Each structure stands twice: as C-alpha cells, then as structure tokens.
C-alpha cells in the first residue's frame, strides 16, 4: 500500500514538473473566490489558468471577474487567444515582455477583433513593453478566410473613458485601433492613446470613426500595408450622425505607410453634423508614405460641416509625392489652418505635379477655400509648382491666405498669398465658368429619327452610379446585356437596375449579380428615350451589348469611368456657341490621356497624363447645326489608369459608342 502511495505521489510530482516544463499554470480557486467576493481588487490573470496552446477562456474569465485591475503576467510563451470582450471599470495591465497572440485558425468572422467593447465605460489597457499581435498574413489566404478589413487589434464602439497606453499593436487584419461609433453615431468619448506603436497593420494604424475628447500622444504609426487607405491614421466618419470633436494628436511619428500618413476623410458629414475640431501638432511624417496628409471634407449639396482642422508645428517629409492634398474645404464649412509647418521632399524626381494639391469632389457646390497657410515652408529639390488645382466641380477658389516660403537649390522665394499671387500660383480653368447642362430637364430625341443602332459595344466601365439612355419606338423590345465588375478585392452586392419610361414612370426593376453578366430587357410602351439607371456601389457596371442605340449619360456632372479606353462620340447641339469637354484623373497618380477630334475628323486637342482637370473649349461662330465630335481615351505614360472622369460644359453629357444614333435636345429644350 505504501509503495502504491509513493508511486501516486511520484506520478503527481512528475505531472507537475511536466506542466511547469511546458509552461502551464494551475488555477487558484481561493484567489478567484476572493476576487468575486470583492476582497481582492487586483487579480492575476494566471489564477484562471494558463495554457501555452490556448488561454482564451482563462483570460476572458479574468476580465469578467469584476476585478478593478487584471494583471496579465509575463509567461514562458505568448498568451494565445481567440477574440476577447473588455469589461466596464477595469484596467487590463500587461507586464513588460508579455505577448498576447491571436490564435492560429481563429478570427474567421469578418469583424472578429482581438479585444472589443461596445458601450463600455472606464476601460484601461496599459502595457509598456507588451505586444498584442494578430496574424495578418493568415487572413490573406482566400481558401481559409473570407476577405475583410475589420479584424482589428482593439475595437471599441461608443465607449466612454478609454485609455490605451504603452502597447505595441501589430499585424492585425484591419486596424491597430478602431474607434467606432455606437448606436445613433454615439462617439467614443474621453479617449487617451499614449505611447502606443501600431506596426504592420493591414488597413490603418488607427481609425477614428466617431470621437469626442480624443488625445493621441507620443505614438508611432508605421508600415501599414494591405488594403486602402493603408494609412498611419484615418479620421473617417461614416455618417452625418458621427463626429470629430475636440480631437488632438501630438508628438507622433507616422512613417513608411503604403497609403497616407494622415488621412482626414469626412465627406459623409454635412451641415447638420456637430462642428469638426481636429488639431495635429508637433508631428512628423516620413519615409515611404504615399502622401503625408489628405484632408477631404464635405462641400456637397447637403451643406458643408462647420469646423476647423489645424496642423501646427508639423514636419512632412515625403519621397517624391504630393505632400498635402486638400479637398472641398470651404470658408462656410470646415476650414484648414497650417501654422509653422514644413513640407520637405528629399526626392530627386517625382511623379507628383506639385507639393500641395487643391481639389474638389464632383458633387461640391460650396466654394473651395477657407485655407490659411500661416508660415508654411516648402523644401523641394524638384522643379515643380507649389500648388496644383484639380477642380472637377468648377467652383470658385476663395479665401486662401497666408505666407509660403519655397526653398530650392539654396534659394528662398517668399510668397504672400494675395489675389495677384494666387492667380499666378493657382491658375483656374476658364471652362468652369461655362454652366452645366441640366440633362434631367431636357427633352431628347434621336438625331436620326428612324435610326436603330445596336450590337456589341466597346468596353466602358462606369463607377458607382451609371446612367444609360436608349431611344425606342412603341412596341419594340429592347434587349441589353449588362455586366457587374469588381474594383479591387472589395466585396460587393448585385447591381440594382431601374428602367424609367420617357414619361418618368418606372417600367422595370431587376438585378445583375455581382461579378456576373445578365440580360435586361423591356418592351417600350411609348416612343421616346428610356433611362436605364444602375447602382453598383463602389464597383462598376458595363453595358456589353444592346439591340438599340445605347448612350452613356451624366445627370448634372461628370461620367465616372474606371480604366476605360477607346473612342466616344458627343453632339454639340445647334444654338450652342461655346462649350467644353473636360477630363481628369481621381488622384494625383491616377491619370488618363485624351484627344478631341472635330466633325471633319481632324485632331483639335491632345493632352497626355491628365490628373488635374484639363479642358478643351469649343467656340463656334456658326451654331446653326448639330455637330458630331469625338474624343479618344488612352492610357497615361506616367502614373496609372484607374478612376477618371469626363464632363461636358454647355452641352448635355451624353457619350455615344458610334456617330449615328446620338441624341439631341428638342426645340422645346432649346
């Protein structure tokens, strides 16, 4: 009997030694009970156990214990966990050297995050010298994971009183930190992010969706790469109910990101949104960022968001790119103020046309401006302009003030931004003074009354909303083939198709499945021009073939194309003496080459590598007849051909695939 007891005791001892050798930790039931009873405000996570293979249940139990502070100890190996939920009124303290590592084979949900919280209060994640790491390379395996960009390291939504300090947040399948909105756009409020390193994340180092009273202090945001925007930090509200209020970022370094260093993308806010207030001070961007700063705000038909974005005492170091892009700021909306900032570009050559790009969105209606450059220094080795204006909306440029110093080849040139100097530095496209033609209010008819021109059509991919016009006679059946095509690796939905009669009545609704081709047909109940309206979201629609003449149209602005080349025909109506056709790329390196040909077939204008809007004006002394012109789109020699736009001024935005079968305004319209 004694010998048997000895054998048992020896076996237990061997098991304990083996457990210790492989790093397991036994639970501590007594300590756990004292935590539950409120006798211990500080708990050790290992009291709930530790297993080097996986410790999800143990760490979640520690978080759910009610302890005011949970200490995650340094163990012989990482804490391997699946997704975890944070608790109210708790500090989660990670000892120096701790690594919390995402479980291999976990996080299959497209928004599964390492640590998440919704509507929680008083959360602290503290860990100088600790690392929270995911497995971003695994999430790229299409055979194992559904593609997504929302597998974040820390993911609070609508939380109040959040502190994240000292941690390294690495290799997420989304963002290092995502400050999301709660119900009704409720912001994350009273947030401090200090001494944090966001390293090699897939989409953003930090995303700020809705925040009030936010401080980001002494952080490093680096090496983001994977999916756009791929920014160091992105302030990007998704709806007008969200906000960016009293947000401060200071003493941070943002470097070597695939996309922007600092991206403020707020066109989803409008005139009813809480005023924006964002201040970035004493920050440095450097290395291989695609661009140092991009500021895009609302200037659209729903009103501009009031507010102020300030960049103070910052240094933006670029390698051959546009340092600052400013889009749709407005004197009556969100203004931009830069104080004592340096734009330093050490590159010997650049694909970017200027150091500062000013641009509008196609739907912008507010004047572009509200920009104060209070002591901005541009240090540039490349002989290029300080400013470039890309104005697809064609709105006035107003209220741009301040002082800029250009340093190049040891020479300093000072510019006080008065009216005369601005006219020299930022020439405005005169074609924008020609009004747009309101297509929706224009009765149209075929130029050739009996023309029915159909068949296979040359490829033209329309981004987002697409409008096709098709003339048909009563009783005819119109048969089309439409195609949905994806942009990048983003997920998509079926293309919503709506057919509207000449009288404005809905004839038919149908869908074309995502990334598929599908037939769309209808029988004309009346003679006239039918509208085929397509909604492809962020993807594209293409009309493959049609039994009748089919034309691409723009309602009251440009036609948005993606990687589209070829020839298109347009009609200058009788009675139009002055009009223009405009082309532009939707990014500094997204470009298109274009040529325009007159009715005789002679080339009248040509421009390669267009990024900012370029126009060709047509002046006619004799405007008694309709004239058919054409233009040709081709790939740029510099940059890439992705998103690009075509717009008409002073004539309807209607593009035909052939010279016959075009539409002209009827006499009633003229």
Cis-peptide, bond into residue 516, ω within 30° of zero: no
Question: What CATH code is carried by the domain that includes residue 632?
Answer: 2.60.120.380
Q: Are residues 284 and 362 in the same domain?
A: yes
Q: Does 578 lie in the same domain as 648? A: yes
Same domain, 497 and 615: yes
> Judging by beta carbons within 10 Å of its beta carbon (0-12, 13-18, 19+), is residue 140 exposed, middle or buried?
middle
DSSP code for 173: B
417 and 447 share one domain: no
Q: 269-328 pLDDT, tens per residue?
A: 988 889 999 999 999 999 877 789 999 998 666 778 899 999 999 999 877 676 899 998
> In total, how many domains does the chain have?
2
- Evaluate if residue 11 carries a pLDDT over 60: no
Backbone angles phi, psi at 12, to 5 degrees: -60, -45
Same domain, 467 and 491: yes
Q: How many CA atoms lie within 13 A of 6 on its CB side?
A: 3
**Mean pLDDT across 219-237:** 95
For 511-539, write each residue's pLDDT tens digit: 999 999 999 999 999 999 999 999 999 89
**Residue 394 banded pLDDT, cuts 50, 70, 90:** confident
The answer to whether residue 123 is domain-embedded is no
Is 131 a domain residue?
no
Question: Is there a single domain that holds both residue 517 and residue 659?
Answer: yes
Nearest to 120 by CA among 182, 171, 74: 182
Residue 270 lies in a domain: yes
Q: Are residues 417 and 445 located together in one domain of the fold? A: no
pLDDT score recorded for residue 301? 67
The verdict on 494 and 350 lying in the same domain is no
Tell me how far apart the alpha carbons of residues 35 and 621 are, in angstroms, rounded to a whole number: 90
Tens of pLDDT, residue by residue over 477-505, are: 999 999 999 998 778 899 999 999 999 99
Residues in the chain: 670
Q: 311 and 339 in contact (C-beta within 8 Å)?
A: yes
- Containing structural domain, residue 647: 439-665
User: Are 276 and 418 found together in one domain?
Assistant: yes
- Contacting residues for 195 by C-beta, under 8 A, at least 6 apart: 128, 165, 166, 217, 218, 219
pLDDT band at 473 (very low <50, low <70, confident <90, very high): very high
Both structure tokens of 70: 């949970």
pLDDT band at 8 (very low <50, low <70, confident <90, very high): very low
Does residue 477 sit within a domain? yes
As a whole number of angstroms, the distance between CA 264 and CA 335 comes to 13
By the 8 A CB rule, do 207 and 179 touch?
Answer: yes
Same domain for 378 and 468? no
At residue 219 the predicted structure's pLDDT band, cuts being 50, 70 and 90, is very high
CA 267, 271, 272, 277 dihedral sign is positive
The residues, any chain, with a CB within 8 Å of residue 665's CB and separated by 6 or more, are 442, 443, 444, 573, 652
Q: What is the pLDDT of residues 176-200, one digit of tens each?
A: 999 999 999 999 999 999 999 999 9
- Is 316 a member of any domain? yes
Lowest mean pLDDT among 393-397, 400-404, 465-469, 616-620: 393-397
Dist CA 573 CA 620 (whole Å): 11
255 pLDDT tier (thresholds 50, 70, 90): very high
Query: 501-505: which pairs have CB atoms within 8 A and are 24 or more residues apart?
Result: 501/525, 501/526, 501/528, 501/530, 502/526, 502/527, 502/528, 502/529, 502/530, 503/528
Q: Round to whole Å and give the CA distance between 219 and 93.
A: 19
Rounded CA-CA distance 125/633 in Å is 54
pTM score: 0.77
Residues 288 and 424 grouped into a single domain: yes
């Amino acid at each position: 009997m004694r010998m048997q007891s000895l054998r048992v005791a020896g076996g237990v001892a061997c098991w304990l030694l083996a457990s210790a050798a492989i790093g397991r930790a036994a639970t501590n039931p007594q300590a756990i009970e004292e935590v539950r009873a409120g006798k211990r405000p500080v708990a050790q996570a290992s009291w709930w156990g530790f297993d080097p293979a996986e410790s999800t249940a143990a760490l979640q139990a520690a978080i759910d214990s009610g302890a005011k502070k949970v200490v995650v100890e340094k163990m012989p190996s990482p804490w391997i966990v699946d997704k975890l939920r944070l608790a109210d009124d708790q500090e989660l303290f990670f000892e120096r050297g701790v690594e919390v590592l995402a479980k291999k084979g976990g996080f299959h949900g497209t928004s599964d995050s390492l640590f998440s919280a919704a509507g929680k209060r008083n959360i602290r994640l503290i860990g100088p010298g600790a690392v929270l790491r995911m497995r971003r390379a695994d999430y790229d395996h299409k055979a194992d994971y559904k593609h997504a960009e929302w597998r974040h390291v820390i993911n609070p939504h609508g939380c109040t009183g959040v502190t994240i300090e000292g941690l390294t947040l690495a290799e997420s399948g989304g963002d290092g930190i995502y400050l999301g909105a709660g119900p009704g756009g409720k912001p994350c409020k009273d947030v401090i992010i200090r001494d944090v390193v966001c390293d090699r994340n897939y989409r953003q180092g930090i995303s700020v969706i809705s925040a009030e009273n936010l401080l980001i202090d002494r952080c490093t945001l680096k090496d983001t790469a994977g999916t756009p925007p791929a920014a160091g930090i992105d302030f990007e509200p998704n709806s007008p109910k969200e906000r960016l209020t009293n947000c401060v970022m200071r003493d941070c370094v943002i470097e070597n990101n695939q996309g922007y260093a600092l991206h403020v993308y707020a066109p989803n806010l409008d005139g009813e949104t809480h005023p924006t207030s964002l201040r970035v001070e004493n920050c440095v961007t450097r290395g291989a960022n695609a661009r140092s700063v991009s500021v895009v705000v609302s200037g659209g038909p729903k009103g501009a968001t009031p507010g102020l974005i300030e960049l103070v005492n910052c240094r933006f170091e670029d390698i051959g790119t546009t340092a600052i892009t400013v889009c749709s700021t407005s004197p009556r909306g969100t203004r931009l103020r830069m104080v004592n900032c340096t734009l330093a570009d050490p590159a010997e050559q650049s694909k970017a046309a200027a150091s500062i790009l000013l641009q509008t969105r196609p739907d912008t209606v507010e004047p572009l401006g509200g920009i104060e450059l209070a002591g901005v220094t541009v240090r540039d080795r490349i002989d290029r302009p300080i400013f470039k204006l890309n104005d697809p909306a064609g709105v006035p440029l107003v209220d741009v003030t301040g002082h800029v110093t250009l340093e190049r080849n040891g020479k300093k040139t000072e510019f006080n931004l008065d009216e005369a100097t601005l006219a020299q530095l930022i020439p405005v496209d005169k074609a924008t003074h020609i009004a747009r033609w309101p297509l929706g209010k224009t009765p149209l008819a075929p130029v050739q009354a009996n023309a029915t021109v159909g068949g296979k059509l040359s490829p033209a991919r329309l981004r987002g909303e697409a409008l096709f016009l098709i003339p048909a006679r009563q009783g005819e059946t119109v048969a089309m083939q439409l195609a949905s095509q994806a942009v990048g690796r983003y997920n998509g939905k079926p293309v919503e198709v709506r057919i509207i009669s000449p009288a404005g009545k809905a004839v038919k609704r149908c869908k074309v499945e995502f990334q598929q081709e599908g037939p769309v047909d209808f029988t004309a109940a009346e003679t006239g021009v039918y509208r085929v309206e397509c909604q492809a979201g962020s993807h594209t629609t293409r009309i493959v073939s049609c039994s009748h003449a089919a034309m691409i149209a723009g309602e009251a602005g440009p036609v948005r194309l993606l990687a589209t080349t070829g020839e298109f025909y347009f009609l200058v109506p009788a009675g139009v003496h002055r009009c223009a056709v405009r082309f532009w790329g939707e990014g500094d390196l997204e470009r298109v080459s274009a040529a325009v040909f007159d009715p005789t077939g002679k080339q009248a204008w040509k421009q390669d590598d267009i990024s900012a809007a370029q126009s060709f004006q047509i002046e006619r002394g004799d405007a008694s007849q309709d004239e058919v012109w054409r233009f040709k789109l081709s790939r740029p020699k510099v940059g890439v051909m992705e998103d690009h736009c075509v717009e008409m001024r002073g004539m309807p935005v209607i593009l035909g695939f052939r010279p016959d079968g075009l539409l002209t305004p009827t006499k009633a319209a003229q």
